[in-house]
A and B are shown apart, each in its own frame.
Chain A
Amino acid sequence: MRTPYGHKVYGMGAEYSSAASLYEAAKIVRDAGFKRWDVHSPFPIHGMDDAMGLGKSWLSAVVLIGGITGLLTAVTVEFGPSWILYPLIVHGKPYDWRTVPAFFPIMFELTVLLSAFAAFFAVLIMNGLPRPNHPLFNWERFKRATNDGFFLVIEARDPRFTEVEARELLEKTGGQHITMVHED
């Protein structure tokens, strides 16, 4: 979809005066059946996931995999050398599977370490970040999304998107400064 001036359209955005009005608007847009849309706020709004019809984040599954990888890494790194590669007898104590309690601290640390890396990289990758530029940054008012602005944007990619319908819906929800956002 293009504007009369030939710009490719990213979507239709509206600004709201408060978190509460954005929350109410999100429920209306969800019920209208749109799929490709998003709200933007300077802080996470409690209850917004439900208002948008989003489920629980599955990031925790990635972190679990990270944790298991960390634990297995520690098991390999500790048992491999101590038991098989370079058996090292200190104070006449065992160096094989019987020494496992002394290996627990490092197993714990590596489990935490790889879980944390998994959480950090998963949140970036699942959100498609880093993405230094984005069509929304073409919208001058959108700067306030990281300060005190509350925005709702319906993307042109949404199969139900038409300029008239999106504008009417955003007006109905009480959106202000309704603007067509360009890709370029």
Chain B
Amino acid sequence: MDEAPTASDVISGETATSERPLARVPLVLNHRNFSWITERISGVVEQPAPRWWWVCFTITATIASFGLFCLGYQISTGIGTWGLNHPVGWGWDITNFVFWIGIGHAGTLISAILFLLRQTWRTSINRSAEAMTLFAVMCAAIFPGVHVGRVWMAWFLAPVPNNYGIWPNFRSPLMWDVFAVSTYFTVSVLFWYTGLIPDLATLRDRATTKIKKFLFGFFACGWRGSNRHWRHYEMAYLLLAGLSTPLVLSVHSVVSFDFATSILPTWHTTIFPPYFVAGAIFGGFAMVLTLLIPARAIFKLQDIITPQHIDKMAKIILLTGSFVSYAYAMEFFVAWYSGNAYEKFAFANRILGPYWWYWWVGMLFCNVLSPQLFWFRWCRRNIFVVYFVCMCVNAGMWFERFIIIVGGLHRDFLTSSWGIFIPTWVDIWTFIGTLGIFTSLFLIFIRFLPMIAMSEVKIVLPEADVHFGGTNGHRPIAAAGKERA
């Protein structure tokens, strides 16, 4: 929330009209003022749900109900309704778990890491990205929860004293995972809600009905924008960002430990933690754009989520995609360089074995080649190209997890124990169902809560600077730059 210069780059084409050579493109376009921001963002929540919302929600809720049916069927019938068998004991379920957990990472990266790095452009996208994180983690938690087989025994995961004398093994990566994911979810909720409080107060003060006034008033906790409150609030926000930063890096590292601490070829590698974290941010940003590109068009938020924001997110996809590509290459190099016959075989099997097209299409085309378009400015500025790449990355990251998990399991040391994984209809519809749950929750979110952090976007307006308007003839560089359109 500092007015320190952002690291945003100067885009030459759009600064041509300026006489100031170092001026920046403003983060909110068209000289919008504070009340315009309040009006436009609150309006999304306050106006009746448009027809398209009901159409979308009906579709996604129907898909979600298929997923819930499959979960009910699986729990009541047994784990055998999934295609899991020897040797593939982790199939679509764990693939989906890692996929969803990974998507969650972009939200925390935007809300915490970009905050610490003083990237003020994050303010337009952090709220919806954080909400997306929560919903993605909820979808993720379904899979290992159900995979334990007897869901009603899931409390064994918690360190609760019991008369069986059974205690969790704290040395197990699966136990670390329980703590990492539940901590991640809890801290994300706290961070998200802390950020929401001032905006809920805005909605409370604009509420027209008693019930809205009561509900927004209840959740806004009586916030009244006092500077004595902002002082503690900003410190809490900074600390939550500081805590979330190592946390988000730890979560996918711990997820990768589930694999890396085993002895299976392709799993037993030290590269996994950074490789997984980079992949998570890569896939997460693609999902953020997938959700925000339609949302900004539908709610006419183009002045707040500007082409500059999409451009920057595309650059992050390019950067993290490069990390991921490097990790892919390094895996092959190490398999060859190690001289380990099993490693060599596993990687040859990855590109030539029964799951060959998952690698060629999913990993190579979707994850490595498609983001290369983002080297070109016109690609980053073209909504359709950006959307295409994001869809490729969404799919590609799922394929990547499938290749790592099933590809690693299906052919290991003994040829006698080789096998193939075939998903059942329950596998397929549970996954599609979680896509429905995720999108339904997101649609509910944009209807009932402000999808953009109003109080934070207001800070990036030039008028928010106390030296705006040239008191004492003094104008800091940052404000002077942003003031120009």
Contacts and interface: CB of A to CB of B under 8 A. Distances in A.
A103 B35 CA distance: 51
Nearest to B172: A90
Interface string A43-72: 111111101101011011001000000000
Interface string B168-211: 01111001100110010011001101100010011011100000
Interface stretch (B242-250, B320-328, B389-397, B435-443): B242-250
**Residue from A19, A82, A112, A131 having most chain B Cβ neighbours under 10 A:** A112
B221 A129 contact: yes
Contacts of B231: 44, 49, 54, 57
Contacts of B257: 105
Interface string A111-122: 011011101101
Q: Dominant SS at the A interface?
A: helix
A158 interface: no
B466 A47 contact: yes
Contact of B226 (A20, A38, A123): A38
B1 to A, nearest CB: 6
B224 A113 contact: no
A132 B217 contact: yes
Nearest to A39: B227
Nearest to B217: A132
A136 B224 CA distance: 8
A41 B135 CA distance: 32
A48 B194 CA distance: 21
A69 to B, nearest CB: 14
A32 interface: no
Interface in A16-55: 18-20, 23-24, 26, 38-49, 51-52, 54
Nearest to A132: B222
B239 A115 contact: yes
A148 B35 contact: yes
Interface stretch (B69-77, B85-93, B348-356, B451-459): B451-459
A164 B2 CA distance: 37
B78 interface: no
Nearest to A45: B466
B232 A145 contact: no
B458 A137 contact: no
B225 interface: yes
Contacts of A57: 231-232, 234-235
Nearest to A123: B236
B467 interface: yes
**Residue from B225, B226, B250 having most chain A Cβ neighbours under 10 A:** B225
A49 B1 CA distance: 13
Contacts of A54: 227-228, 231
B33 interface: yes
B224 A99 contact: no
A59 B222 CA distance: 20
Contact of A44 (B33, B38, B230, B243): B230
Nearest to B219: A130
A49 B227 contact: yes
B223 A19 contact: no
B465 A46 contact: yes
Interface in A74-117: 77-78, 81-82, 85-86, 88, 90, 93, 99, 102-103, 105-106, 108-110, 112-113, 115-117
B240 A119 contact: yes
B159 interface: yes
A45 B169 contact: no
A139 to B, nearest CB: 11
**Residue from A81, A119, A142 having most chain B Cβ neighbours under 10 A:** A119
Nearest to A111: B243
Contacts of B2: 46
A137 B234 CA distance: 23
Contacts of A1: none
B222 A134 contact: yes
Contacts of A88: 167, 169
A146 B221 CA distance: 13
Nearest to A115: B243
A50 to B, nearest CB: 10
A165 to B, nearest CB: 22
A134 to B, nearest CB: 6
Nearest to B168: A81
Contacts of B193: 120
B17 interface: no
B468 interface: yes
B167 A86 contact: yes
A146 B201 contact: yes
Nearest to A87: B167
B228 A127 contact: yes
Interface in B251-266: 254, 257
Given A86-B165, A147-B38, A23 B466 contact: yes
B170 A103 contact: yes
B183 A113 contact: yes
B463 A19 contact: yes
Given A132-B218, A147-B206, A148-B35, A119 B236 contact: yes
B337 interface: no
B229 interface: yes
Contacts of A59: 232, 235-236, 239
5 closest residue pairs by CB, A with B: A148-B34, A130-B221, A23-B466, A123-B236, A57-B235
Given A40-B224, A106-B175, 13 more contacts: A44-B459, A45-B464, A46-B464, A52-B228, A59-B235, A60-B239, A103-B170, A112-B247, A116-B186, A116-B240, A120-B236, A122-B232, A148-B35
20 contacts: A20-B468, A23-B466, A38-B226, A40-B225, A45-B227, A46-B3, A49-B231, A59-B236, A60-B235, A63-B236, A78-B170, A112-B247, A115-B243, A119-B236, A131-B221, A131-B222, A132-B217, A145-B225, A146-B205, A147-B38
Interface of B: 1-3, 33-35, 38, 159, 165-167, 169-172, 175-176, 179-180, 183, 186-187, 190-191, 193-194, 198, 201-202, 204-206, 217-218, 221-236, 239-240, 243-244, 246-247, 250, 254, 257, 454-456, 458-459, 463-469, 471
